């Protein structure tokens, strides 16, 4: 746990990446596994995680992210895209995976499947889309912590035009929406932000005991 706190103090939202430094395939595999193992409501993982490696695409996305340099300079650009209009198909796919993974008959979990469908599919579309978008933040949290363990920098970004990202990446046609962006790589020596003291609320201000 001491390493976790040390890593949390080490990481920050990197403003300037060293474009000459790339994350190794081995470390990328670890980061992907950390994302894959993230918690999510019902275990549904109602999102896709897109690694945008094409430099031309990244250049097109930069203006849609307020011109921020991290979009093109970071080793990796990751877009967390929530599933829009989630419904029975996604729930059926989850249970197909579940029964194959655990080697149990569908009859053993049919009641749970029916329960999930009754709770999720009856929600208004806007509520369902907000809910799936929130799940991407859980996956981002795993990425942040795993990357810090590897001394890899990650900048979580909400400063982008989701509609433009969706259009450029063709996400609308896939039933997806750009919810979060994360740039991954290594801080530049000239990024003064790395030397700033971390600003957080005190325990007394943050925590409430009832």
Q: Is the pLDDT of residue 7 over 90?
A: yes
pTM of the shown model: 0.96
Domains of the chain with bracketed CATH: 17-85+130-188 (3.40.109.10)
Instruction: Estimate the crossing angle of helix 25-36 against helix 125-149, to 10 degrees.
Output: 140
Q: What is the rounded average pLDDT of the residues 174-180?
A: 98
91: Cβ–Cβ under 8 A, 6 or more apart, which residues? 44, 113, 116, 117, 120, 121
φ, ψ dihedrals at 44, nearest 5°: -75, -25
**Of 3, 7, 87, 83, the residue nearest 47 (C-alpha):** 83
Mean pLDDT of the chain: 97
Per-residue pLDDT tens over the stretch 123-157: 999 999 999 999 999 999 999 999 999 999 999 99
- pLDDT for the residue 2: 75
Beta bridge pairs of residue 52: 77
Please state, in angstroms and rounded to a whole number, the distance separating the CA atoms of residues 192 and 196.
7
**Which sign, positive or negative, has the C-alpha torsion 19, 28, 133, 178?**
positive
Burial of residue 110, with CB atoms counted within 10 A of its CB: 0-12 exposed, 13-18 middle, 19 or more buried: exposed
Please state, in angstroms and rounded to a whole number, the distance separating the CA atoms of residues 90 and 94.
6
Per-residue pLDDT tens over the stretch 51-104: 999 999 999 999 999 999 999 999 999 999 999 999 999 999 999 999 999 999
Using DSSP, state whether 210 is helix, strand or coil.
coil
H or E element in which residue 179 lies: strand 176-185
- pLDDT for the residue 8: 95
Confidence bin at 1 (pLDDT 50/70/90): low
Q: What is the rounded average pLDDT of the residues 25-36?
A: 98
């Amino acid at each position: 746990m001491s390493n976790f706190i040390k890593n949390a103090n080490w990481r920050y939202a990197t403003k300037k990446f060293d474009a000459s430094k790339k994350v190794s395939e081995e470390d990328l595999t670890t980061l992907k596994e950390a994302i894959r193992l993230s918690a999510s409501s019902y275990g549904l993982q109602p999102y896709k995680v897109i690694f945008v490696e094409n430099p031309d695409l990244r250049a097109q996305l930069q203006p849609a992210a307020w011109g921020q340099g991290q979009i093109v300079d970071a080793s990796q650009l990751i877009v967390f895209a929530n599933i829009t209009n989630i419904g029975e198909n996604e729930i059926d796919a989850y249970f197909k995976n579940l029964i194959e993974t655990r080697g149990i008959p569908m009859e053993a979990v049919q009641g749970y499947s029916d329960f999930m469908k009754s709770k999720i599919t009856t929600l208004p579309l806007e509520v369902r889309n907000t809910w799936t978008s929130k799940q991407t933040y859980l996956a981002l949290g795993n990425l942040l912590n795993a990357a810090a363990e590897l001394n890899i920098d990650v900048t979580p970004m909400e400063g982008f035009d989701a509609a433009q990202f969706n259009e450029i990446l063709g996400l609308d046609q896939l039933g997806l929406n750009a919810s979060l962006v994360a740039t991954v790589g290594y801080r530049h020596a000239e990024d003064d932000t790395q030397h700033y003291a971390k600003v957080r609320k005190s325990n007394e201000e943050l925590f409430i005991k009832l």
